[in-house]
Amino acid sequence: MRLSITSMTLSHFRSHRRARLSLDGRPVALFGPNGAGKTNVLEAVSLLSPGRGLRRAAADEMARRPEAIGWKLVAEVESHGQSHEIESWAEPGGARQVTIDGKPAAQVALGRIVRMVWLVPSMDRLWIEGADGRRRFLDRMTMSFFPEHGDETLAYEKAMRERNRLLKDMVRDGAWYRAVEAQMASSGAAIHAARGRALARLAAAQAGAETAFPAPDLTLEAPAEAPMPKTAEDLADALAHGRGRDMAAGRTLTGPHRADLGAVWAAKGIEARQCSTGEQKALLISLMLANARALAEDFGAPPILLLDEVAAHLDAARRAALYDEIAGLGAQAWMTGTGPELFEALGDRAQYVEVTDEAGASRIEMKDAP
pLDDT tens sequence across 25-67? 999 999 999 999 999 999 999 999 998 899 999 999 999 998 8
Separation CA 91–CA 239 (nearest Å)? 40
Res 75 pLDDT > 80: yes
pLDDT tens sequence across 142-189? 999 999 999 999 999 999 999 999 999 999 999 999 999 999 999 999
pLDDT tens sequence across 98-119? 999 999 999 999 999 999 999 9
Q: Are 366 and 44 in contact (CB under 8 A)?
A: no
Res 208 pLDDT > 90: no
pLDDT tens sequence across 119-132? 999 999 999 999 99
Provide mean pLDDT across the span 285-299.
Answer: 95
The per-residue pLDDT for 369 is 86
The per-residue pLDDT for 255 is 96
Q: At what angle do helices 175-206 and 277-299 cross, to 10 degrees?
A: 90
pLDDT tens sequence across 215-250? 999 999 998 888 899 899 999 999 999 999 999 999
Bridge partners, 114 (sequence order): none
Q: What is the mean pLDDT of the chain?
A: 95
pLDDT grade for 213, boundaries at 50, 70 and 90? very high
The per-residue pLDDT for 68 is 83
The per-residue pLDDT for 30 is 97
Distances (CA, A) of 368 to 126, 346, 349, 365: 35, 12, 11, 10
The per-residue pLDDT for 99 is 98
Separation CA 236–CA 196 (nearest Å)? 20
Largest CA distance in the chain: 69
The per-residue pLDDT for 197 is 97
The per-residue pLDDT for 160 is 98
The per-residue pLDDT for 154 is 95
The per-residue pLDDT for 299 is 94
The per-residue pLDDT for 314 is 86
Bridge partners, 60 (sequence order): none
pLDDT grade for 325, boundaries at 50, 70 and 90? very high
Q: Are 305 and 290 in contact (CB under 8 A)?
A: no
The per-residue pLDDT for 269 is 94
b/e code 195-210 from CB counts within 10 Å (16+ = b): beebbebbbebbeeee
The per-residue pLDDT for 311 is 80
Separation CA 233–CA 237 (nearest Å)? 6
